[in-house]
Structure 1
Amino acid sequence: MLFATDQWLRLVPVTWDVFPNALSTAIQYASLNFPTESSWTRYNGLQQLSYFVTVFIAAPVSITTGLLQSPAISNRLGLLGTVLNRQVARSIHFISFTWFVFFILAHGIMVFITGLRENTNHMFAGVKSAGWIGFPFFVLALVLVGVAWWAASPFTIRHARLVQKTGRILVGWIKGFSEWWEPTAELSESDISPHFWPNGTMPNSAEYEDLLAGKFRDYRLRVGGMVETPRQFSLADLKTMRKQQQITTHFCIQGWSGVAEWGGVKMSDILDVVKPLPGARYAVFYSLADGSDGGRYYDVHEIFNMRHRLTILAYEMNGEPLSVLHGAPLRLRCENELGFKMVKWIAAIDFVRDFGDLGAGQGGYNEDHEFYGYRMPI
């Protein structure tokens, strides 16, 4: 509504006089000798600057830096995604939201102490009056917000999947659309992080210990399901295939990020060998490790996303064989998804038509246990 009318013009300073006027107004407020209120017709310098910063600076900065924390978006923007990398964007994002907290507190306090009746009339009745016409609507709004706040947490706890499905309907198509963007941002060796944080529950089985003791000579990657040619690949087999190296940013859902060079075989080459059937829509990756709550870790990906240029099965990290901490002998790198989607210690890949009968049917271990989305490019 602000931009559908000419009201936005009231927020834009047109002379440098706004700065000394804002300072003078701030001193008057601080001395509790409030200036004459005339916001019905024009804002004073302090009000105008506050609204201008909120609408034209803080809001777009918050939106932009929020989106830059997305792997699909940041890895698509080349140099911009590198300069405004996730941690820089996250810090700016925090500062901009600190401004919003300050603005809300200051604005709310000023509504009460500079004339509650007149201000609520302006906001809730659209009239300039000293009466009480807007105040009942203000109280009603407070009650509705309070009731909604009181009911929200119990409702969301009882109906968590319903809330998740509603969110998927609202924004899932945006997340799905962003998967189609080709991740193109590759960095240089100077960008590689000195420390790359490991996480995830480590494999804890005799099977894995035997593989590790034999330096993975007996490791076999089983690829099957809805494919024309099921295969088992040894690590040596994978290393004879065309190798791809890429320096990319890893985005963890916990908020941290890191840059590393990955080397491995393209998933598109694996698909060309096994030839998924026309009805296959998803690739399911199974780990040799369990999840944090017990049960085998797995995750599901749209099959088309496995053909992305930077989607690989990595067996090297920073020029060295992949370490156990980071997923040896094999881990997925899918550069337009968050880190938990990139299964480590891969045991098998199955191509399926649907994942409703896998685990709790949500598309992955974290999706089953923690209400994550099975598509996480944002």
Structure 2
Amino acid sequence: MQDFIKRYPGTAQTAPSVDSGFPWWLQLQHFLNMLFMMFIIRAGIQILADHPRLYWNRDCTPGTEWFRFQHPVPQGRIWTAKDDAVTLPSWLGIPGLRHTIGLARWWHFSIDLLWVLNGVAFYIMIFATDQWLRLVPVTWDVIPNALSTAIQYASLNFPTESSWTRYNGLQQLSYFVTVFIAAPVSITTGLLQSPAISNRLGLLGSVLNRQVARSVHFISFTWFVFFILAHGIMVFITGLRENTNHMFAGVKSPGWVGFPFFVLALVLVGLAWWAASPFTIRHARLVQKTGRIMVGWIKGLSEWWEPTAELSEADISPHFWPNGTMPNSAEYEHLVSCKFSDYRLRVGGMVESPHEFSLADLKAMRKQQQITTHFCIQGWSGVAEWGGVKMSDILDMVKPMPGARYTVFYSLAEGSDGGCYYDVHEIFNMRHRLSILAYEMNGEPLSVLHGAPLRLRCENELGFKMVKWISAIEFVSDFKDLGAGQGGYNEDHEFYGYRMPI
């Protein structure tokens, strides 16, 4: 062992040195990365808490998860996806209350954007200078040197540090994995959980389906948490003075010049950690609007990407999670009792030819069947075969006026806080080939639990946008006077976004 450590002291002797130290831009990006990751991790935990189960299979059947922090799904009662959400303490999640995924997603995606921009700038700067040599191994000696470093750390006989010019093998490998593997994997698997992206990628979206992407995303998350904890501990035990001088002052000095800046950085991150949840709860609408400004335009662009992915009967899920507040009115009970023979779908607003359709009228029109994946905002997914009328055919019949921009779907059900459930879509999104009004599910009439007599299927949007138990459709020029003016019931009450293809 002594001969091995002597031959491989920890730092590859053939690796080139870095002569530029730790420049100011690297110090700034290091701090920003530390700050951004705090928000990303906390918001990510909050998102996971809304469906606290992970699967390798697409259909999210209870009992098939490989990881969960929730009890098994109870038997003998309807257990919705919303019932399955768990509560987090406010110091851990953002904002920490139960089922606050709308606000958590704004934090997660908005800070993700800043993190990605910071990362792109970091990539450009390190490869424009000699800093890349610090992170990218250029000799296979890095592997035995990394093993030697691990052995020396474990024995508490630490290797000689020369991080001002070269990282040791273990540092270099761990930084390389974090910067060039874990970060791109996190970004890619995050995007693959999007219906607009996954339902456009064909075989890739099928193989790396949402649940596979979600599980890999979680694994990359655990790597970041492990790296941050290990990195923080090593800063203290391998030489706090030298390490803080390097990264927070950019100097190689025997003094403590970098330590005050290190303390200031910790205080700023600590204050942000402490303030994040109270600020979010107190200013929830501001968080929603800020998130919409930062990333809403990206969501809007992805709506134009028409979904094309269709699956086979073999892919149909044995379990399809129920969700939403069921209709509870005399009107709906009457419709159920008469098997929806008295049901009428009213289509009006800014149209040239208002229509009223019975269920029989809709079934007499051209029927489209499609087997597609449902993406719930909470994280679960499921595959079903849907049969119904193309929304483009409805549009052709009613002829929206030139000033109409939005399609509003009203439900026979109330939202969770009372009041009519509704949601808004851009008209162009209703012309996509897979946007339909479904009255069948898996070859059978749509069940009451899943939206009978009629529900929307719009395969580039998250599930809450696909209104169930539809009572009416209205075409409008603006939605600012509907509800709280945010574009839908969950947008009004739970701070979702009205454009949610990601």
Q: Aligning the two structures, in what range does the TM-score lie when normalised by the shorter sequence?
A: over 0.9
Distance 2:129 2:422 in 1: 52
Distance 1:317 1:248 in 2: 11
1:142 to 231, 250, 266: 266
Distance 2:365 2:387 in 1: 12
Structure 2: 5+ residue stretches without partners = 1-124
Shift of 1:120: 0.6
Shift of 1:166: 1.1
Shift of 1:195: 1.1
SS at match of 1:2: helix
Distance 1:8 1:332 in 2: 50
State the Cα deviation string for residues 184-228 of structure 1 (Å, max 9, x = none). Answer: 111111111111111111111111111111111111100001100
Shift of 1:165: 0.9
Shift of 1:288: 0.7
Structure 1: 5+ residue stretches without partners = none
Distance 2:173 2:448 in 1: 54
Distance 1:309 1:9 in 2: 50
Of 126-135 and 80-89, the range deviating more from structure 2: 126-135
State the Cα deviation string for residues 233-282 of structure 1 (Å, max 9, x = none). Answer: 11111111111111110000111000011111110110000001111111
Shift of 1:18: 1.9
State the Cα deviation string for residues 131-160 of structure 1 (Å, max 9, x = none). Answer: 111112112212222223333333222221
Distance 2:197 2:150 in 1: 40
Shift of 1:97: 0.6
Shift of 1:320: 1.2
- In the alignment, which residue of structure 2 is the partner of 1:303? 427
State the Cα deviation string for residues 101-154 of structure 1 (Å, max 9, x = none). Answer: 000000000011111111011101111112111112112212222223333333
SS at match of 2:159: coil
State the Cα deviation string for residues 45-69 of structure 1 (Å, max 9, x = none). Answer: 1011101110111101110001111
SS at match of 1:36: coil
- In the alignment, which residue of structure 1 is the partner of 2:461? 337
Shift of 1:358: 0.9
Compared with structure 1, are the counterparts of its residues 187 and 6 closer, same or farther at alpha carbon in structure 2 (3 Å cutoff)?
Answer: farther
Q: For this pair of structures, how many residues does the alignment match? A: 378
Shift of 1:5: 2.8
State the Cα deviation string for residues 315-367 of structure 1 (Å, max 9, x = none). Answer: 11111111111111100000000000000010000001111111111111111
SS at match of 2:128: coil
Shift of 1:12: 1.8
Query: What's the RMSD between the two structures over aligned residues?
Result: 1.1
Shift of 1:38: 0.7
Distance 1:15 1:141 in 2: 35
Shift of 1:15: 2.9
Alignment TM-score, normalising by the size of structure 1:
0.98
Distance 1:199 1:269 in 2: 28
Distance 1:113 1:249 in 2: 49
Shift of 1:17: 2.4
Shift of 1:33: 0.6
- In the alignment, which residue of structure 2 is the partner of 1:16? 140
Distance 1:176 1:5 in 2: 37
- In the alignment, which residue of structure 1 is the partner of 2:43? none
SS at match of 1:233: strand
Say if 2:202 is the partner of 1:96: no
